[in-house]
């Protein structure tokens, strides 16, 4: 039984980039899909697709590289199952002075830190990326 599916997905992304893979597949969930879509919108991943053929459905994540180097330098899980981290709208971290992105789980869904600040809502800080 997996206790931290988001942490598992983030680790799979880090490992795939270290091995220079073009794509990776993870087991699907709405939360993983929402986090991956934000990473695509922010430009860290190329694409995310749901595949339903075969015995089990999967999410296929396409990684992005620039000059044969991964665009994601650090992908860090902030809130964990044993220690949840909640932030208010004025406490949302600015990753690398605004060059990176934080991802939050809010009452309005999964949002980037920039969008949550714009809307004036806080929530659970899932991860940071730059």
Nearest Cα to 92, choosing from 105, 81, 83? 105
The full set of domains in the chain, from first to last, is 5-129 (3.30.1490.10)
Asked whether the beta carbons of 45 and 57 are under 8 A apart, the reply is no
Q: DSSP letter string over 60-89?
A: EEEE-EETTEES-S-EEE-SBTTB--EE-T
Q: Write out the two tokens for 2.
A: 């997996």
Q: Is the dihedral of CA 89, 90, 94, 99 positive or negative?
A: positive
Count other C-beta atoms under 10 Å from residue 19's C-beta: 8
Per-residue pLDDT of the chain in tens (130 residues, 90 and over written 9)? 789 999 999 999 999 999 999 999 999 999 999 999 999 999 999 999 999 988 899 999 999 999 999 999 999 999 999 999 999 999 999 999 999 999 999 999 999 999 999 999 999 999 999 9
Whole-model pTM: value is: 0.94
């Amino acid at each position: 039984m997996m206790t931290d599916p988001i942490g598992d997905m983030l680790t799979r992304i880090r490992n795939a980039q270290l091995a220079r893979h073009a794509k990776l597949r993870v087991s699907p969930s709405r939360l993983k899909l929402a986090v991956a879509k934000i990473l695509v919108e922010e430009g860290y991943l190329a694409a995310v697709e749901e595949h339903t053929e075969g015995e089990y459905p999967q999410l296929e994540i396409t990684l992005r590289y620039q000059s044969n180097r991964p665009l994601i330098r650090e992908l860090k899980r902030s809130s964990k199952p044993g220690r949840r981290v909640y932030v208010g709208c004025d406490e949302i971290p600015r990753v690398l002075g605004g060059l990176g992105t934080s991802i939050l789980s809010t009452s309005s869904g999964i949002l980037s830190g920039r969008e949550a600040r714009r809307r004036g809502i806080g929530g659970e800080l899932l991860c940071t990326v730059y």
